[in-house]
Structure 1
C-alpha cells in the first residue's frame, strides 16, 4: 500500500493591524526553516506575504475585532501562501501606478513575483482569501 503524503500546512490568526505584518513574516520564516530547502522560497515569500497581509489590513471593511488568517503549505515543490480576511466581496485588482504614486504597487509586485495568484470567496460566504504560489529559487552555480 502506498502512503500518500499530505502537505504540512501551517495556519495562524493574527490581529487585523499593520503591526501584525512583521509577526506574519516571522511565522513564515519559522515555517520555512523547518522544511528541507525552505530557504529557497524565503525572500520572495516574505515579500509577497507582507504585501498580501498589509492589503488585507488596509482594504478591509470588516469590524476591527476580526482576525486575519494566514496559511502556508508546500505541495509539488511550490509554496502556497494564503491570506484570509472577513472583508466584503471586493476583490483585489491591479492598477497601473505612476512614478508619483506613493501607494498601489503591492499587487504589481505580487503579480510579477508569484508564479500565479488569485482571490477566492471563503467557505461560509464571509470574506475572501488571496493566494499566491511561489516557485523555489534554484541555487546559482559558480564556476
Structure 2
C-alpha cells in the first residue's frame, strides 16, 4: 500500500489533503480511517460520518470500475472552497461508465452513487486531470463564513 498525504495545504491552494491508495479491498477501510484522521484538525461542521460513508462508497466504486493495463492508484483529494468541502476520487476508469442506478430493494449492490446523490449538496463526474475518471461531491456549509 502506498499513501501520499498532504496534511496542510499551501496558502495559495484550497487543497486540504490527498491520499493515494492501492486498488485493493483493504484500501476502503484505510481511506475511511485516514480521511477522518486528516480532516478532523480542520474542524468541519458537516457530518464527518456522512463524508466518510461517501468516501468509502466512491473508493469502492473506483476500485471496482477503474482499470488499466498499467499499475495504478486510487487518488482521493479534499478541498476547501469558501465554506464548502469538496472531495474528489480519481481512478483510471472510463467516465461514461459512471451512472446513478435505482436498484430494486432486493439488489445487494448499486447504491453508492444513490447515497452520494442523497447526502451531498451536489456531485459531479468527468475526466480526471490524472487521466481516467473523477467523481466528486460537495458538502455545503462545512465551515463558517
TM-score (normalised: structure 2): 0.81
1:87 maps to 2:75? no
1:33 corresponds in structure 2 to: 40
1:9 maps to 2:11? no
| Structure 2 residues not aligned, in runs of 5+ | 1-10
User: What does residue range 1-143 of structure 1 map to in structure 2 within 5 Å?
Assistant: 6-35=13-42, 37-38=43-44, 40-63=46-69, 65-123=71-129, 126-136=131-141
Give the superposed CA RMSD: 2.2
TM-score (normalised: structure 1): 0.82
| Structure 1 residues not aligned, in runs of 5+ | 139-143
Q: Which has the larger radius of gyration?
A: 1
Q: Does the 8 A contact of 1:33 with 1:39 survive in 2?
A: no
Shift of 1:39: 5.5
Q: Does the 8 A contact of 2:50 with 2:119 survive in 1?
A: yes
